[in-house]
């Protein structure tokens, strides 16, 4: 077909021996098989197509010739025509959220001749969405960046990303990690309506839990320490372990709207009295200028903040550092699940500072005996979010807080011995 463009490494011979081309095909099939396990892997081996669905995520894999255009994937098949629809985002349990994620239609069709291709790629496609909770730092890492690493790192950059619900701001913000995982420019299927053909495809990403990476279910067998090393290389971070940091740096995440520290100046004075060099990072900076912020977080020994997306920066902490999360009323479960448990997997010491009702601004609004304090779980997620996340600030008990910070100081000083 005139006008076809080939992207290296291509699966056409072009001077390469047929044996070499065949070896590349077999190697690619093996790599794609590793994305699924158990019965799904057996199905992929037999039929060339398999999907794995959990309550959180869904991803489909094909190691057959795949034609991609306008949110539709045609897969060469010897089976009867089948249609599968996937919304490629790792929040499958949130049906309202998924309405914002463009569905990808996968059609398995019997093909006697290759489909008309305008571009032929020699690497598989990975299709995922930047809709959902994009704009929230936690969710961007939790549901896209970490799953993207899990799903594709074993392909060693030989993969073409196709970003449904393309957002230029997301691509700019995460250009560094995405360029490490793929050697090719991200395709925006709305702007680029050409027909692209691939020797295989992955639709959707593997998800393993909140800021989680399970090496036993990662195609490349990578651990969370491998992911942290990936971040250090990507953002040119200097420190692998807290003992390498000579200055007693402490970063405090300062919020300006909700979940504010009402006596922040006094908190800073308390920490400075203990010998910390306090660096205050405003929340708007936490969610922007990621390259600069990653280096700041990586250079600190202790990281302090109230529950919120800014604590996702614990990913950049060196091993042995301490994260102190101010654990607010009604937010105990997400505080532990989103940041506390993951911190331990990152080799970061986690110290929760659980506030008392007297420290919460909710006390004046509802009173000590209100259900807000006695039974936070009784509220629906929407009502609870409005109360505890959007309308709660905190005035820290400085005496209690000092005890927590003394413990944090003791931990990092022990690493110097």
Residue 225 located in a structural domain: no
* Of the residues 152, 184, 219, the one at which a domain ends: 219
Same domain (yes/no): 144, 261:
no
Same domain (yes/no): 211, 249:
no
The two tokens of residue 124 are 């598989």
pLDDT, one tens digit for every residue, the chain (417 residues): 445 665 544 434 334 444 544 556 568 989 999 999 999 999 999 999 999 998 888 999 999 999 999 889 999 887 778 899 999 999 899 888 999 999 999 998 876 555 689 999 999 999 999 998 888 999 999 999 999 999 999 999 999 999 999 999 999 999 999 999 999 999 999 999 999 999 999 999 999 999 999 999 999 999 999 999 999 999 999 999 999 999 999 999 999 889 999 999 999 999 999 999 999 997 555 446 899 999 999 999 999 999 999 999 999 999 999 999 999 999 999 999 999 999 999 999 999 999 999 999 999 999 999 999 999 999 998 999 999 999 999 999 999 999 999 999 999 988 765
Beta bridge partners of 119: 5, 196
Residue 14's pLDDT is what? 38
Read out DSSP for 65-126? -EEEETTEEEEEESSPPEEEEE--SS-TT-HHHHTTSPPEEEEEEE-SSPPP-SEEESS-EE
Residue 26 located in a structural domain: yes
pTM (two decimals): 0.92
* Helix and strand totals (H; E) in the chain: 17, 17
Same domain (yes/no): 213, 252:
no
> For residue 344, what are the domain limits?
242-414
Same domain (yes/no): 285, 155:
no
Same domain (yes/no): 97, 206:
yes
Residues 6 or more apart in contact with residue 417 via CB below 8 angstroms:
none
* Of the residues 219, 234, 268, the one at which a domain ends: 219
Residue-wise pLDDT for 389-401, tens only, equals 999 999 999 999 9
Q: What is the mean pLDDT of the chain?
A: 90
Same domain (yes/no): 164, 255:
no
Separation of alpha carbons 369 and 74, rounded Å: 60
Please tell me the total count of domains within the chain.
Answer: 2
Containing 295, the helix (H) or strand (E) segment is helix 290-298
Same domain (yes/no): 258, 185:
no
Residue-wise pLDDT for 203-214, tens only, equals 999 999 999 999
Same domain (yes/no): 313, 404:
yes
The fraction of the chain above a pLDDT of 90, given in percent, is 80
Same domain (yes/no): 196, 252:
no
């Amino acid at each position: 077909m005139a006008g076809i463009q080939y992207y290296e490494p291509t699966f056409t011979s072009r001077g390469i021996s047929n044996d070499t081309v065949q070896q590349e095909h077999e190697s690619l099939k093996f790599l794609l098989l590793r994305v699924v396990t158990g019965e799904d892997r057996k199905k992929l081996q037999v039929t060339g197509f398999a999907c794995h669905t959990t309550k959180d995520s869904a991803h489909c894999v094909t190691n057959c010739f795949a034609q991609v255009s306008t949110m539709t994937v045609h897969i060469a098949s010897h089976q009867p025509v089948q249609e599968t629809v996937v919304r490629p985002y790792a929040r499958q349990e949130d049906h309202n959220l998924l309405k914002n994620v463009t569905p990808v239609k996968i059609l398995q069709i019997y093909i006697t001749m290759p489909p008309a291709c305008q571009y032929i790629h020699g690497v598989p496609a990975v299709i995922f969405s930047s809709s959902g909770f994009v704009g929230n730092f936690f969710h961007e890492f939790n549901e896209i960046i970490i799953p993207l690493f899990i799903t594709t790192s074993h392909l060693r950059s030989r993969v073409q990303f196709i970003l449904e619900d393309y957002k230029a701001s997301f691509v700019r913000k995460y250009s560094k990690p995405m360029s490490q995982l793929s050697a090719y420019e991200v395709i925006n299927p709305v702007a680029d309506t050409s027909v692209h053909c691939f020797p295989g495809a992955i639709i959707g990403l593997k998800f393993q839990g909140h800021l989680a990476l399970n090496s036993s279910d990662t195609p490349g067998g990578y651990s969370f320490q491998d992911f942290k090393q990936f971040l250090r290389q990507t953002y040119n971070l200097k420190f692998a372990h807290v003992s390498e940091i000579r200055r007693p740096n402490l970063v405090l995440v300062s919020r300006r709207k909700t979940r504010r520290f009402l006596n922040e100046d006094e908190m800073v004075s308390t920490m400075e009295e203990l010998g910390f060099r306090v660096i205050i990072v405003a929340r708007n900076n936490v969610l922007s200028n990621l390259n600069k912020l990653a280096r700041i977080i990586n250079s600190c020994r202790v990281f302090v903040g109230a529950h919120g997306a800014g604590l996702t920066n614990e990913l950049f902490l060196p091993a042995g550092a301490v994260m102190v999360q101010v654990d607010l009323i009604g937010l105990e479960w997400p505080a532990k699940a989103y940041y506390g448990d993951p911190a331990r997997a990152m080799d970061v010491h986690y110290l929760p500072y659980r506030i008392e009702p007297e420290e919460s601004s909710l006390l004046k609004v509802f009173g000590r005996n209100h259900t807000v304090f006695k039974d936070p779980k009784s509220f629906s997620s929407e009502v609870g979010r409005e109360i505890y996340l959007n309308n709660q600030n905190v005035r820290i008990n400085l005496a209690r807080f000092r005890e927590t910070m003394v413990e944090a100081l003791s931990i990092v000083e022990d690493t110097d011995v």
